[in-house]
Amino acid sequence: MSSQTPSPDHPAFLRLPPWVKSKLRPFAIPIIQKVHDWVETECIPAEPVMRAQLAQDRWKTPKLMHELRKKAKSLGLFNLFLPNHFEESPGLTNLEYACCAEIMGRCYWAAQTMNCHAPETGNIELLAKYCTPAQKEQWLKPLMEGTMCSAYSMTEPDRASSDATNIGCSLRIEGDECIINGRKLYGNAQWNPELGFYILMACSDPENPNPWNRHTTVIVPARSKGLTMTRNLTIMGYDHAPEGHGEYIYEDVRVPAANIILGPGRAFEIAQGRLGPGRIHHCMRLIGQSERAYELALIHAIDPAKKPRGKLIGAFDSNIERIADMRMGIDSMRLVVLNAADTMDIHGNKAGKYAIAQSKILVPIQAARIIDECMQMFGGQGLTQHTPLPEMWTYARFVRVADGPDAAHRHQVGRDALKAAEGFRERHKKYNERHAEICRAWGVDPGLGGRAIEDLL
Amino acid sequence: MSSQTPSPDHPAFLRLPPWVKSKLRPFAIPIIQKVHDWVETECIPAEPVMRAQLAQDRWKTPKLMHELRKKAKSLGLFNLFLPNHFEESPGLTNLEYACCAEIMGRCYWAAQTMNCHAPETGNIELLAKYCTPAQKEQWLKPLMEGTMCSAYSMTEPDRASSDATNIGCSLRIEGDECIINGRKLYGNAQWNPELGFYILMACSDPENPNPWNRHTTVIVPARSKGLTMTRNLTIMGYDHAPEGHGEYIYEDVRVPAANIILGPGRAFEIAQGRLGPGRIHHCMRLIGQSERAYELALIHAIDPAKKPRGKLIGAFDSNIERIADMRMGIDSMRLVVLNAADTMDIHGNKAGKYAIAQSKILVPIQAARIIDECMQMFGGQGLTQHTPLPEMWTYARFVRVADGPDAAHRHQVGRDALKAAEGFRERHKKYNERHAEICRAWGVDPGLGGRAIEDLL
Amino acid sequence: MSSQTPSPDHPAFLRLPPWVKSKLRPFAIPIIQKVHDWVETECIPAEPVMRAQLAQDRWKTPKLMHELRKKAKSLGLFNLFLPNHFEESPGLTNLEYACCAEIMGRCYWAAQTMNCHAPETGNIELLAKYCTPAQKEQWLKPLMEGTMCSAYSMTEPDRASSDATNIGCSLRIEGDECIINGRKLYGNAQWNPELGFYILMACSDPENPNPWNRHTTVIVPARSKGLTMTRNLTIMGYDHAPEGHGEYIYEDVRVPAANIILGPGRAFEIAQGRLGPGRIHHCMRLIGQSERAYELALIHAIDPAKKPRGKLIGAFDSNIERIADMRMGIDSMRLVVLNAADTMDIHGNKAGKYAIAQSKILVPIQAARIIDECMQMFGGQGLTQHTPLPEMWTYARFVRVADGPDAAHRHQVGRDALKAAEGFRERHKKYNERHAEICRAWGVDPGLGGRAIEDLL
Amino acid sequence: MSSQTPSPDHPAFLRLPPWVKSKLRPFAIPIIQKVHDWVETECIPAEPVMRAQLAQDRWKTPKLMHELRKKAKSLGLFNLFLPNHFEESPGLTNLEYACCAEIMGRCYWAAQTMNCHAPETGNIELLAKYCTPAQKEQWLKPLMEGTMCSAYSMTEPDRASSDATNIGCSLRIEGDECIINGRKLYGNAQWNPELGFYILMACSDPENPNPWNRHTTVIVPARSKGLTMTRNLTIMGYDHAPEGHGEYIYEDVRVPAANIILGPGRAFEIAQGRLGPGRIHHCMRLIGQSERAYELALIHAIDPAKKPRGKLIGAFDSNIERIADMRMGIDSMRLVVLNAADTMDIHGNKAGKYAIAQSKILVPIQAARIIDECMQMFGGQGLTQHTPLPEMWTYARFVRVADGPDAAHRHQVGRDALKAAEGFRERHKKYNERHAEICRAWGVDPGLGGRAIEDLL
């Protein structure tokens, strides 16, 4: 760990576009450098040790993780993701944090050492935004201090819950208690003893004529009676322990009504604010993963031991073109996501909705494609544990469905885009009016020359 | 199990192209039906039981597998893959067996119940083709009877072994023994006690001026002294137990010289004959997997519980188009592979080389794409163990690198294709000569009209 | 022109799959060879002369075309497309003719020399199938003899006429006359004096509750009063003279009621039978075009004058892989289309509907992609008139929208495919029932092992 | 024409990313608005009139163009492209001009009305950068005043001139004259009487051991003796009159040696500086074209007359997803190109080389894909002159080969990218060293945990 004096030539900034570099404040530059040095020195080289500790006790946070979190916290590298408009924030903008997130992405679990991992980030932001001081004291504080873990519980096995109005898990308020019944997928695993609570989205008012007012968000302590985790869900075969992805049954689970966030029926108000930044974090981390996959592929490309037909892998023109495609693909993704982060900084999360969706849709597909290409360039070893590529690919593939499959987002973008069509039609009408004037001025028969435009209206 | 009388309307034949149906002999029809009924009744419904037994004892062939193999053998469903020009063959053509292989592919391990799985198929064919009667008695017989398992050992970690002339594992003949030293990847795991031997490709004459005469193929008993399996290779995180993919060190492993197949330096002669049919089997099984993935996606598409925006998944036009693409993609693959099988039947494996490569290159990519699309149509659950899709995708992805990454095969196809270029140039010269005649006949200046063609030469 | 004795080694058969070769009857083989020699000797080398003649008199069939048609007819190479179940047929099956059509496709206008070009082929088949003897005498005979041209008139500018029930051009029967009013796109150009008539689809009974009974097909003489061609439509800038694509206004056009085909309200009955074979012809011709584009690219790849970075174009690994992709792409298309032709021969046009749609959707996209790649391999010259590639690409692109854009066909295929979903669900139910039995037999808790399957139902 | 007061809400800025908006100087804002209003009011609506005038006199600049150029010049909308570091520049940065270029791109010939069209832009920049005052007076001045046209002559028919060291057209200096012999492709057409001169790249010193010093750039007056234009090259059938693309023969063409730019043998010095900004202009114009194609598709999508299956085109989910893909595709391209322009502003053209190549490779492919999708959404009419889409597509396709095919650029990017591989290897070595330390600290056997990383080195 070094990086006392901030330097624009530091490798942490190497691939940032000039407009981003010029927006990084002197305050942020040494932080980004520290994140870089942290990941390079303490995380990536420790990967095999983390793996070894996890192999011994699968469903417990490894000692190494605990130690690294303690150390990162002491270095001021904790909760960096929380944007600077929150009072609890360490002070980075979304754009500045995005630069950190890419670096964190190079190691699958590095973000966790800095308390910047999903679902903690989204949950912390949600609690900071919508909780009462009392709720914050009880639930937000331990999360931010890193002494507790949380989960987010929304997806359901029996519904198309990517459309959240379909969520059916029932929440009934009786006196000062809520009673919850239903099935949930994809919250972190209860098996990890450090899991403290779930932020649950449930249906409390199914008959409400407004489908956006039917749902309630509530905090459910992790070891509530009646709450059973039936199994851990694997993702492409990976268990993602010790966090995991639980499959849950709620049977008459009772929770204090004081745990309701913002009030009954306001779950959508909450949900809308939650996901934007988290999606950007995922995307930047995927870019970091892609960069690392790309580096491994390039190291392989110049490996003197690997010479099919007597040539280095990287001496084949076809591979040279593939490398160019990867290089440009990664850099294009970065421009898209950094623009989304910047848009949020300037105009807010809501105005950034489109740019966030653009990232969410394009980046996971592109990252998975690039990592897949890297695996293929490695030949047979690329799919094995000889490289971290299979886990990287799986992460990218997972993000394609996390927070809704990309078709759902594409649909939303498309429907919003269609709203401009009427305006385009008006624009064309004006072209035609002006066209008639010009034809008159030049003595041209508008019927002849003009049909190309007219025919569209 | 039913299917006494063969019927062309049997579901086993549903998607076969007419030309294939008309080529199936009366002898083959009831066999294909029996394979179909076997997979439907004894394999697919038993998948969870197989999984449960494997979970208990990971590196041992499950009892269920043993029982199913015994039963399949008694039904005459054993070794069907061996083409009818071998005396040991049950009598199917490559084309007829290809129809069986697709059906087997619907369940990941169904082929094994019928002793039709890799690497056994390639090994059996190799031994049947090249071994002496004594070797056959010792090694081929137990394989065909299903009492022993074998592995194929070619890939190496430190070389670009997709170009097999690079293979470096050394074999030295001393008296009536061979002494072997080197490292190998990707043979089945020694950990399974039923593994009997490896068919190993090693370099016995590194100084031979002809690089195609430097290598020797030898049979290595699985528990030879000096042979260590350092770990099992995972494929995208899957261990593929109990067969697995071993990583091996050979240290002064001694094997009788009598185990050499065909004689020293003749490994390439053997290798060339080996892989063709096996590639076709893989491809047909991937088509079977794709069909099953497609079925699961369609069941999901009409699931009344899954209605984003109030519509069935299958009511979205975008999904309707995706389903059409899958349907056509699978059927196109089948035409390619069945044509390759038929070409081998008519003209032999060597003449079928191009059609086999075409299958090997196109099918795994297409199958992986289709299964990936099916996963995506499932949303979040598609990547979990709720469906068999992740394992299916992994199998398809694996075949893209097995027997050499597709770029290597594409390269070979491209270089062969380029050999036609000179002939095309001649053809164009003839066009130009004839063009001059026509111009004369019509009184047209050939310099004017003819340049378009001339310019190319 | 040679080819006295049929030979299986003749270049006409070089790339046919073995199963197709074995289906060609001795009767067909010399015909296919003659078509091959005709195109090689009389068509391709004459392309610049045809271009020169057309440049002089744009909207008249060139003399060269007239002469070639006369000669082809005398050689028995006329109307080959008409399948052998018609009495007027020269006797080829759809499969055999498909082999001819690929060869014809190598030259854009070669099919026309043999009276095998669109829309003549579809129109001849329609008239042969549905007309009265009197109608045949008047309209079919001159078409088959090649003394008259015809057009097909269906598309309309103001409707989504890819869904033909939308067709709005009105036909009113008054006494023994029909009166027609409306606008049409895409029939051949009236400007060519040899155009004899249109086969027009119009709406005669707009109030009929059955939308499939509202339309009537009628023959409209090309120079009818009230029928005006407002302009010729260009396709990607090409005018496709002298056939062209007219844009028409019908104003009180009067036609004898005797010109109605099959009777009023029966247009859909007629339309359904019409398009299948024509689509296959287009697809096979596109394969021929693709082969020729591929040959030009390969000639360029070994052009000693073109050496970027000192290497032949074809010495770049990336181009070698591209050539392999083209080679395999063309061959895969051919398998799809020949299977469709064969399916029509065996089971009829209706049963071949899916295979025809599969060809119609996949081939034009693939052909356009391959020709585009060939253009790119040529560099700057590839887009100019130095090669025929731009016209080839345009033809492939055009077929993507001709007879309906591919999305419409994909939609139809997808909706038909979805009909199988219920059956798949039943199949899965059976798996589950059998699964329960197997669990009982092995003493396994079906709830545990079985969920993977059950969850889908 | 309006736009007195600059407004950030003006439609000219609608789709600019926030970081770009914030970089536009008050000086630039009203200029961009004026460009927008100019194109909307004077160019797009006049397209049919321009087409009509061109149809009458194909190889002469239409009167309308002359008038518009005069008017644009008087409005201060002339030569905007010339970057502000030139003394002749109107003062925009590359980034600011890029915003103008997108708007110009909406109409194929709008840039020409503002003297911002290729090849004028590149030629003006070249002359401004490298000419003597006397040369500037004679050749640059009339170009900037818009009274003369120029061409750039580099490509050759008989060489792989995308690798410019292959250029073979010979230039011999005799006394104070140069004598030129050779063939050239792709300079503007001599047929247009306003063409004043060619900037020619020729080989003057073929034996020079340094291949980068063999070539000379010289100005050749358009009507020099011995210079013949043999034909105009069409691009996908379009003649691009009245500028066109000539094919030339130089036979003993004599030119004053004073016309040599910068001195003999310095052509590569000149060429390197020339193309960067021009590529960015092309790319931004293609984005403008794509936006307009997109608008036309959206207008079609809500056309109440077009309802296949009773639904608006834009009501099909599949089209909604396609629209989203187009929207995101266009916006992603814009981020890439604007970043390249900004990089040139900040770090200069040379440092921007990679970002320029990234634009040049990605944008034409993406733009062609999007415009193609728009054509397809139109159905049959999309390919005809009913819409400007075919010409737009052709322009995008053309840019894929202009200034070298994209494979050549991809190759260059890939080879540059590979230079980083050694550094990545060093980085990995450091990981491994640090890994060994961490293993020691935790008492883990590095041989076990560490292999994943080690295996790569």
- With a CB cutoff of 8 Å and minimum separation 6, the contacts of D71 are D42, D113
Q: Is residue D2 one of the residues assigned to a domain?
A: no
Rg (CA), chain B: 25
- Do D188 and D245 form a contact (C-beta atoms < 8 A)? yes
Task: Give the separation between CA D83 and CA C351, rounded to whole angstroms.
Answer: 65
Same domain? For C410 and C435 the reply is no
Q: Please check the confidence at residue B85 and state whether its pLDDT lies above 90.
A: no
Q: Is residue D30 one of the residues assigned to a domain?
A: yes
Task: Give the separation between CA B311 and CA B302, rounded to whole angstroms.
Answer: 10
Task: With CA atoms as reference, report the closest residue to A296 among A361, A363, A393.
Answer: A393
Q: One-letter amino acid identity for A20? A: V
Q: Tell me the ipTM for this assembly.
A: 0.94
Neighbours of B287 (CB within 10 A): 29
Strands C149-153 and C195-203: parallel
Domain enclosing residue A440, as ranges = 424-454
- With a CB cutoff of 8 Å and minimum separation 6, the contacts of C322 are B414, C373, C377
Nearest beta carbon to residue D383 from set C163, C397, C407: C397
Q: What are the strands, taking DSSP E only, across B204-337?
A: 215-221, 227-232, 246-256
Please report which confidence band the pLDDT of residue B6 belongs to, taking 50, 70 and 90 as the band edges: low
Task: With CA atoms as reference, report the closest residue to A397 among A282, A280, A317.
Answer: A282
Q: One-letter amino acid identity for A177? A: E
Nearest beta carbon to residue D159 from set C234, C305, C405: C305
Q: What's D298's domain CATH number?
A: 1.20.140.10
What local confidence, expressed as pLDDT, does residue A5 receive?
52
Coil vs helix vs strand at D116: coil
What local confidence, expressed as pLDDT, does residue D113 receive?
98
**Stretch 416-455 of chain D: residues touching chain B, C-beta under 8 Å:** 455
> Domain ends where: B240, B260, B280?
B260
Q: Give me the residue label for tokens 């892998």.
A: A313
Do A157 and C320 make contact, defined as CB atoms within 8 angstroms? no
CA distances from C76 to B12, B128, C80, C86, C92 (A): 44, 54, 9, 17, 12
Q: Is residue A1 one of the residues assigned to a domain?
A: no
Same domain? For D84 and D20 the reply is yes
Same domain? For D110 and D154 the reply is no
Instruction: Check CB contact of B17 with chain C, cutoff 8 Å.
Output: yes
Q: Which helix (H) or strand (E) holds C129?
A: helix C120-130
Please report which confidence band the pLDDT of residue B126 belongs to, taking 50, 70 and 90 as the band edges: very high
Please report which confidence band the pLDDT of residue D3 belongs to, taking 50, 70 and 90 as the band edges: very low
What local confidence, expressed as pLDDT, does residue A69 receive?
98
Q: Is residue A22 one of the residues assigned to a domain?
A: yes
Q: Is residue B282 one of the residues assigned to a domain?
A: no
What local confidence, expressed as pLDDT, does residue D91 receive?
94
Q: One-letter amino acid identity for A166? A: N
> Domain ends where: B145, B161, B191?
B145
Coil vs helix vs strand at B25: coil
For residue D245, the Cα-to-chain-centroid distance in whole angstroms is: 16
Q: Please check the confidence at residue D385 and state whether its pLDDT lies above 60.
A: yes
Poorest-pLDDT segment among A349-353, B64-68, B104-108, C75-79: A349-353
- Backbone phi, psi, residue D237, to 5°: 90, -15
CA distances from B4 to B27, B30, B32, B38 (A): 13, 8, 12, 13
DSSP string, B273-302: HHHHHHHHHHHHHHHHHHHHHHHHHHHHHT
Mean pLDDT score, B299-327 = 95
Task: Give the separation between CA C100 and CA A451, rounded to whole angstroms.
Answer: 42
Same domain? For B225 and B114 the reply is no
What local confidence, expressed as pLDDT, does residue B275 receive?
66
Enumerate the residues of chain C whose CB falls inside 8 A of the CB of residue D408. 308
Please report which confidence band the pLDDT of residue D457 belongs to, taking 50, 70 and 90 as the band edges: very low
- Do D242 and D58 form a contact (C-beta atoms < 8 A)? yes
Coil vs helix vs strand at C79: coil
Mean pLDDT, chain C, whole residue set:
92
Nearest Cα residue in chain C from B53: C444
Task: Give the separation between CA C338 and CA C359, rounded to whole angstroms.
Answer: 9
Task: With CA atoms as reference, report the closest residue to D438 among A222, C251, A42.
Answer: A42
Nearest beta carbon to residue D237 from set C238, C307, C401: C238
Q: Is residue C133 one of the residues assigned to a domain?
A: yes
Please report which confidence band the pLDDT of residue C5 belongs to, taking 50, 70 and 90 as the band edges: low
Instruction: Check CB contact of C249 with chain D, cutoff 8 Å.
Output: no
- Backbone phi, psi, residue B419, to 5°: -60, -20
Q: Which helix (H) or strand (E) holds C149?
A: strand C149-153
Same domain? For A403 and A278 the reply is yes
What local confidence, expressed as pLDDT, does residue C88 receive?
86
Instruction: Check CB contact of A325 with chain D, cutoff 8 Å.
Output: yes
- With a CB cutoff of 8 Å and minimum separation 6, the contacts of C100 are C31, C32, C35, C80, C81, C92, C116
pLDDT digits (tens, 9 = 90+) for A159-189: 887 788 889 999 999 999 999 999 998 889 9
Q: What's A168's domain CATH number?
A: 2.40.110.10
CA distances from A318 to A315, B160, B364, D413, D419 (A): 9, 17, 20, 13, 17
Q: What distance in Å separates residue D240's CA from the closest CA in chain C?
A: 11
Instruction: Check CB contact of C206 with chain A, cutoff 8 Å.
Output: no
Q: Give me the residue label for tokens 């609506």.
A: D45
Instruction: Check CB contact of B2 with chain A, cutoff 8 Å.
Output: no
Rg (CA), chain D: 25
- Backbone phi, psi, residue B17, to 5°: -65, 150
Task: With CA atoms as reference, report the closest residue to B237 among D129, D132, C425, A387.
Answer: A387
Structure tokens at B216: 């020797």
Please report which confidence band the pLDDT of residue B9 belongs to, taking 50, 70 and 90 as the band edges: confident
Same domain? For A153 and A289 the reply is no
In chain D, the largest separation of any two C-alpha atoms, in whole Å, equals 87
- Terminal Cα-to-Cα distance of chain A (whole angstroms): 65
Q: Please check the confidence at residue D133 and state whether its pLDDT lies above 60.
A: yes
Nearest beta carbon to residue A317 from set C157, C317, C455: C317
Same domain? For A311 and A391 the reply is yes
Q: Please check the confidence at residue C453 and state whether its pLDDT lies above 60.
A: no
Q: Is residue B275 one of the residues assigned to a domain?
A: no
pLDDT digits (tens, 9 = 90+) for C222-258: 999 999 999 999 999 999 999 999 999 999 999 999 9
Same domain? For D397 and D426 the reply is no
Strands A177-187 and A149-153: unpaired
Mean pLDDT, chain D, whole residue set:
92
What local confidence, expressed as pLDDT, does residue A275 receive?
67
Do A159 and B245 make contact, defined as CB atoms within 8 angstroms? no
pLDDT digits (tens, 9 = 90+) for D236-272: 999 999 999 999 999 999 999 999 999 999 999 998 7
Residue, of B201 and D444, whose pLDDT is higher: B201
Enumerate the residues of chain A whose CB falls inside 8 A of the CB of residue B305. 158-160
- With a CB cutoff of 8 Å and minimum separation 6, the contacts of C291 are C15, C102, C106, C330
CA distances from D447 to B230, C152, D435 (A): 12, 76, 11
Neighbours of D441 (CB within 10 A): 12
Task: With CA atoms as reference, report the closest residue to D370 among D313, D331, D335.
Answer: D331
Enumerate the residues of chain B whose CB falls inside 8 A of the CB of residue C49. 438-439, 442, 444, 449
Same domain? For C282 and C188 the reply is no
- With a CB cutoff of 8 Å and minimum separation 6, the contacts of C443 are none
pLDDT digits (tens, 9 = 90+) for D364-375: 999 999 999 999
Please report which confidence band the pLDDT of residue A1 belongs to, taking 50, 70 and 90 as the band edges: very low
Q: Which helix (H) or strand (E) holds B355?
A: helix B353-378
Burial D408-435 (b: 16+ CB within 10 A, else e): bbbbbbbebbbebbeebbebbeebbebb
Task: Give the separation between CA A408 and CA A386, rounded to whole angstroms.
Answer: 36
Structure tokens at D117: 């069209």
> Domain ends where: A145, A171, A199?
A145
Q: Is residue D70 one of the residues assigned to a domain?
A: yes
Enumerate the residues of chain A whose CB falls inside 8 A of the CB of residue D39. none
Mean pLDDT score, C123-137 = 95
DSSP string, A185-254: EEEPPTTSTTEEEEEEEEES-TT-SSGGGSEEEEEEETT-TTEEEEEEPPBTTB--TTT--EEEEEEEEE
pLDDT digits (tens, 9 = 90+) for C21-57: 999 999 999 999 999 999 999 999 999 899 999 999 9
Same domain? For C108 and C172 the reply is no
Overall number of domains in chain D: 4
DSSP string, D432-453: HHHHHHHHHHHT--HHHHTHHH
Structure tokens at D134: 């006397």
Mean pLDDT score, C170-182 = 96
Same domain? For C384 and C446 the reply is no
Residue, of B327 and C404, whose pLDDT is higher: B327
Q: Please check the confidence at residue A442 and state whether its pLDDT lies above 50.
A: yes
Q: What's B28's domain CATH number?
A: 1.10.540.10
Q: Please check the confidence at residue D141 and state whether its pLDDT lies above 60.
A: yes
Rg (CA), chain A: 25
Q: Please check the confidence at residue B452 and state whether its pLDDT lies above 90.
A: no
Instruction: Check CB contact of A321 with chain C, cutoff 8 Å.
Output: yes
pLDDT digits (tens, 9 = 90+) for B274-285: 668 899 999 999
Task: Give the separation between CA C2 and CA D171, rounded to whole angstroms.
Answer: 51
For residue C33, the Cα-to-chain-centroid distance in whole angstroms is: 22
pLDDT digits (tens, 9 = 90+) for D189-208: 999 999 999 999 999 999 99
Mean pLDDT, chain A, whole residue set:
92
Q: Please check the confidence at residue D300 and state whether its pLDDT lies above 70.
A: yes
CB neighbour class for C85 (10 Å; exposed up to 12, middle 13-18, buried from 19): exposed
pLDDT digits (tens, 9 = 90+) for B168-185: 999 999 999 999 999 998
Same domain? For D308 and D186 the reply is no
Please report which confidence band the pLDDT of residue B88 belongs to, taking 50, 70 and 90 as the band edges: confident
